[in-house]
């Protein structure tokens, strides 16, 4: 039986292949002896790399990290399409092709910017309350609405003519499906393609250099594992932050609205993220600040709440004291 977490904060995990993101959560619950563990930004079982986990009170902060920019290294095999758009699915078509790195680079350039994606059938997107992957397991095809995402950079790092495979580095908004990007890139070249391997390099400013392999965490004693947990305030390091004391500290403790203060204007003061509505551009590019999370710090510098900007001020989204 596990109880409350002895520590609260973020853990940057290097996810291994072969397990789901939820499997990682279950294993971390055993490491930390608590049920209060969650994750932000699902990785497919075959994918590896950066997975942000929240321990204790930090589970309430994970939703604010979902929209931050992600970086990936993707292996794409051209000439072969599959049922799942990745190497886990059954082969649908094989198309002989003789691509080269320049052709792939020229095609990749057309995907940089704001693009529309149809979520893959094997995904957790819910239609009429049911995840798409459940319908896919029944062999059903469900109509899906396209979604607007943003590709900030798409670099073709290498190309193997023998296997017709490319290594791509992708920087994109939250909610981007790299499987769909690979398949769409292949379609644009007339060859078809699927994602053969994927590694996530970063979530916002959380890089793989900060991550700890899951098996290493499982070999640590509790104190060693807890030493790898980042303080709660680090969850908001990619967002504007504000320190309160006195009367404002009391307002925060009671979840009352705060004055807006000066809106962040520089690119570096806002995360690379898109708003939820289709067609909206990243807040830092469109000049929007409504809805942007703001970390509220107490006099000691610790995170005590997260507020969101509104038309009238800052409104409480999560109070942690």
Are 226 and 285 members of one domain? no
Are 147 and 255 members of one domain? no
CA-closest candidate to residue 72, choices 178, 183, 166, 194: 178
Structure-token match 């469109």, residue found: 286
Q: Got the DSSP string for 197-240? A: EEEEEEETTEEGGG-EEHHHHHHS-HHHHHHTPBPGGGGGTTS-
273, pLDDT greater than 90: no
Per-residue tokens: 11: 């853990």
- How far apart are the C-alpha atoms of 157 and 169, rounded to whole Å? 7
Q: In terms of DSSP bridges, do strands 80-82 and 70-78 run parallel, antiparallel, or are they unpaired?
A: unpaired
CA-closest candidate to residue 15, choices 7, 5, 27, 31: 27
For residues 194 and 89, is the Cβ–Cβ distance under 8 A?
yes
CA-closest candidate to residue 16, choices 24, 4, 7, 5: 24
The number of domains in the chain is 3
Instruction: Give the DSSP H/E element, type plus range, for residue 173.
Output: none
Q: In terms of DSSP bridges, do strands 303-309 and 314-319 run parallel, antiparallel, or are they unpaired?
A: antiparallel
Are 193 and 88 members of one domain? yes
Are 30 and 77 members of one domain? no
- How far apart are the C-alpha atoms of 72 and 147, rounded to whole Å? 20
44 classed as catalytic: yes
Greater pLDDT, 321 or 200: 200
- Answer positive or negative: Cα dihedral of 208, 210, 216, 222: negative
- pLDDT tier at 311 (50, 70, 90 boundaries)? confident
Q: Residue 282 carries which DSSP code?
A: P
Structure-token match 């000049």, residue found: 287
What's the pLDDT score for residue 2? 62
What's the pLDDT score for residue 124? 55
- How far apart are the C-alpha atoms of 154 and 150, rounded to whole Å? 11
Instruction: Give the DSSP H/E element, type plus range, for residue 18.
Output: none
Averaged confidence pLDDT in the chain? 86
Active-site residue, from 14, 44, 184, 238: 44
Are 105 and 212 members of one domain? no
Are 213 and 265 members of one domain? no
CATH code, domain carrying 217: 3.30.2350.10
Are 57 and 164 members of one domain? no
- How far apart are the C-alpha atoms of 86 and 194, rounded to whole Å? 5
Are 176 and 59 members of one domain? no
What is the pTM for the complete model shown?
0.87
Are 158 and 258 members of one domain? no
pLDDT one-digit tens code per residue, 221-259: 999 999 999 999 999 999 999 999 999 999 999 999 999
139, pLDDT greater than 90: no
Are 81 and 152 members of one domain? yes
What residue numbers bound the domain in which 99 lies?
70-203
């Amino acid at each position: 039986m596990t109880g409350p977490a002895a520590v609260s904060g973020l853990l940057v995990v290097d996810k291994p292949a072969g397990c789901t993101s939820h499997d990682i959560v279950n294993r971390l619950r055993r490491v930390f002896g608590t049920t209060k563990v969650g994750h932000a930004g699902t990785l497919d079982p075959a994918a590896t790399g950066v997975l942000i986990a929240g321990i204790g009170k930090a589970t309430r902060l994970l939703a604010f990290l979902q929209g931050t920019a992600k970086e990936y290294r993707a292996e794409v095999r051209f000439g072969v399409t599959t049922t799942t758009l990745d190497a886990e699915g059954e082969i649908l078509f094989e198309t002989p092709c003789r691509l080269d790195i320049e052709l792939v680079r020229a095609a990749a350039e057309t995907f940089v910017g704001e693009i529309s994606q149809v979520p893959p059938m094997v995904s957790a997107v819910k239609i009429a309350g049911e995840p798409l992957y459940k319908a896919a397991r029944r062999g059903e095809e469900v109509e899906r609405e396209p979604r607007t995402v943003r590709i900030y950079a798409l670099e073709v790092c290498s190309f193997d003519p023998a296997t017709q495979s490319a290594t791509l580095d992708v920087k994109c908004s939250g909610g981007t499906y790299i499987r769909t990007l690979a398949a769409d890139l292949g379609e644009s070249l007339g060859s078809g393609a699927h994602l053969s391997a994927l590694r996530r390099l970063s979530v916002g400013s959380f890089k793989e250099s900060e991550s700890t392999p899951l098996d290493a965490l499982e070999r640590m004693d509790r104190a060693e594992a807890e030493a790898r947990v980042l303080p709660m305030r680090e969850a908001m390091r990619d967002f504007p932050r504000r320190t309160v004391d006195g009367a404002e500290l009391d307002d925060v403790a009671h979840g009352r609205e705060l004055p807006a203060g000066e809106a962040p204007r520089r690119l570096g003061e806002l995360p690379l993220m898109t708003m939820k509505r289709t067609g909206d551009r990243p807040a830092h590019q469109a000049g929007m600040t409504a809805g942007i999370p703001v970390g509220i710090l107490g006099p000691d510098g610790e995170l005590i709440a997260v507020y969101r900007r509104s038309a009238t001020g800052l409104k409480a989204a999560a109070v942690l004291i």
